[in-house]
Structure 1
Amino acid sequence: MYDQTRAQQPADRPADPGGHRSLGPDPLIPSDGRDKVVRRLGHAVNAFADAPREALKEAESAFDEATDALLKALAERRRVLRAGWQDQDPETQNTELRLALREYREITGRLLRA
């Protein structure tokens, strides 16, 4: 039977141990990068009372780091997606093209909702 939720998941999404695709989209920024930025922001918040200007500089730097990581992650996703369909034979299956379109739509939608 057709499972609409499962069909909407990107083909490259890793399956969980039960063999099902994980629910929800993959994070745009890898967890190690997110964790580092979160720690820096937390430090800036905690340091604000004692050194407000330095805290703001640290928060701004964490913001810059997050935006750089996001841009790099999006560029890599685009590269991988494009490689999957751009140089394919013109007879490429519509299913493969549809999956790439779905992934572009999902990522763009997430960016617009952010």
Structure 2
Amino acid sequence: MADNVHTADNALFPPEERDKLTLRLQNAVNGFVDGPRGAVEEVDHVLEETIAHLTDTLAERRRVLRSSWQTTPARSAADGGIPAAGVAPGGALAAEGAPAEASATDTEQLRLALRDYRETAERLLRL
């Protein structure tokens, strides 16, 4: 994948999903006086959904990042598989310290992948 996986719209939550969860959270907090247990249960569900969405989003982000720099002939676009580390083109195990083949990954592709990994990690660390 020669294209850069970095996009301006790679938010951890799409705006409509974020707004929906925020509204549910606000409604639960506002309903605390009339139904404390129900409010806390609703906030618990909102947090659970938020964590699940975040986990799914980050797992997909990592899959896309890995596929941008790891390549093997055994992986097809249809199966979405991620090759094991240390597997060289042709399916052979790469020798430790062996130079990477220019046709498998190039320096620019790796630079873009590194930048995208760093940006994702930095965004998480700011949470």
| TM-score category, normalised to shorter length | 0.7 to 0.9
Report the AA paired with residue 72 of structure 1.
D
Partner of 2:51: 67
What TM-score comes out, normalization by structure 1 length? 0.74
Find the aligned partners of 2:10 and 2:61 in 1 and give their Cα distance: 11
Partner of 1:94: 107
Matched, 1:56 2:69: no
**What are the equivalent positions in structure 2 for 1:1-114 lying under 5 Å apart?**
11-14=4-7, 26-87=10-71, 90-91=101-102, 92-114=105-127
* Number of positions where the alignment pairs a residue of Structure 1 with one of Structure 2: 95
- Higher fraction of helix: 1
**Which structure carries more relative contact order (alpha carbon 8 Å, separation 6+)?**
2
- The one-character-per-residue Cα deviations of 1:47-104 (angstroms, maximum 9, x if unpaired) are 1111111101101110110010000000011111111111166312211101101111
For structure 1, the 5+ residue unaligned runs are 1-10, 15-21
Q: Is the 8 A contact 2:28 2:39 kept in 1?
A: yes
For structure 2, the 5+ residue unaligned runs are 73-88, 90-100
Find the aligned partners of 1:79 and 1:55 in 2 and give their Cα distance: 36
Over the residues paired in the alignment, what is the CA RMSD in angstroms?
Answer: 1.8
SS of the aligned residue for 1:70 comes to helix
| Percent of matched pairs sharing the same residue | 45
Find the aligned partners of 1:66 and 1:43 in 2 and give their Cα distance: 16
